[in-house]
Amino acid sequence: MPEGDTIRRLAERIDGRFAGQRVRRCVVRDPRLVGVDLTGRVLLGADAVGKHLLIRFDDARTLHAHLLMTGSWRVGPAATEPDWRRRVELWLDDGRLTALDVPLLGMIATADEASLVGHLGPDLCAPGPPDLVTVVANLEREQVRPLAAALLDQRNVAGWGNLYANELPFIVGVSPNQPVGAISGLDDLVGIGAALIRTNAARGPQNTTGRRLATDDHWIYPKRGRPCPLCGTRLVGFDERESPWGRVTTWCPACQPVSAGATVVNLARARRLLALHPARRQPMFP
């Protein structure tokens, strides 16, 4: 799923392969890009801000993309998908860059990028130490909002998507439905989640268990109806229509009970569950 770590890795791949190269040919098939021709422009570089991808060119313009649930990019080889799925294709010195099924695309002045990403909370996958104090402060303002909804709101924090909104509450033993104001230890939760996504951004692919098998790389997402990997209780959840925040959500009713009073982030549980995960070596891991 394209979350902040995936987009950061994508930006680095595009940057590493194509930065400084000239566009030899350009085909756009997206109605929002009618009239755009990047032929002759130099691709200066690619960057990620949260889940937004920004590809900058030497005419002071930026190609902006958000992959939502469906989009992807082919970096290097020619795409074999049918024409209508290839929304943008650029031929560069060292191969082809293709936007596949990308639902949000636009061309903006590079100077105006803030109009697209300026509202976002701190970017967990940006280079340099992330501003976790602001992330915690933003979450603390969410008092009555369920934890998963607050984690998904990119104005609070940019990067976590639905995978982390499921896995992080499970790892710390807190219900995704628990109001944020009734959770103590938010700073630990944020530190663990930041360590996970930054580790996955650096190493890829997304993994929340530290186990190597691709079938075993997430704890509970999206495994509703199956036994909890820790206690064996049947996992419950919402599908997209049932969920108050519109996303598939899974949790263990035994490990993650909703509490009428305050719930404490279970640091011992998180350390046990992530014993094999290299995120434990990140400095922000509590």
Residues that bind Zn ion (CB under 5 A): 228, 230-231, 233, 252, 254-255
Instruction: Give the Cβ contact number of residue 210 at 10 Å.
Output: 17
Distances (CA, A) of 167 to 33, 65, 105, 173: 37, 26, 29, 10
Candidate list 2, 146, 169, 176, residue with the active-site label? 2
Candidate list 9, 51, 56, 87, residue with the active-site label? 51
The Cα 81–Cα 61 span in angstroms is 27
Candidate list 9, 87, 145, 247, residue with the active-site label? 247
Cite the DSSP H helix spans in the chain. Answer: 4-18, 114-117, 132-140, 147-152, 162-172, 186-203, 267-273
Candidate list 3, 89, 142, 167, residue with the active-site label? 3
Residue 44 or residue 172: which is nearer to Zn ion going by CB?
172
* Known active-site residue 223: no
Token pair of 161 as six digits: 């998507």
- Helix crossing, 186-203 with 4-18: angle to 10°? 30
Residue 73 or residue 170: which is nearer to Zn ion going by CB?
170
Residue 195 or residue 252: which is nearer to Zn ion going by CB?
252
C-beta of 255: minimal distance to Zn ion in Å? 3
C-beta of 231: minimal distance to Zn ion in Å? 3
Using DSSP bridges, classify how beta strands 104-109 and 86-92 pair: parallel, antiparallel or unpaired: unpaired
Residue 13 or residue 224: which is nearer to Zn ion going by CB?
224
The Cα 65–Cα 45 span in angstroms is 14
C-beta of 73: minimal distance to Zn ion in Å? 37
Phi, psi of 189 (to 5 degrees): -60, -45
C-beta of 176: minimal distance to Zn ion in Å? 13
In b/e form, how buried is each residue of 167-192, taking b as 16+ CB within 10 angstroms? bbbbbbbbbbbbbbbbbebbbbbbbb
* Known active-site residue 2: yes
Q: Are 260 and 181 in contact (CB under 8 A)?
A: no
C-beta of 232: minimal distance to Zn ion in Å? 7
The burial of 114, by beta-carbon neighbours within 10 Å (0-12 exposed, 13-18 middle, 19 or more buried), is given as exposed
C-beta of 245: minimal distance to Zn ion in Å? 22
Residue 53 or residue 252: which is nearer to Zn ion going by CB?
252
Residue 6 or residue 250: which is nearer to Zn ion going by CB?
250
Half-sphere exposure of 102 (CA within 13 A, CB side): 30
Which residue numbers are catalytic? 2-3, 51, 247
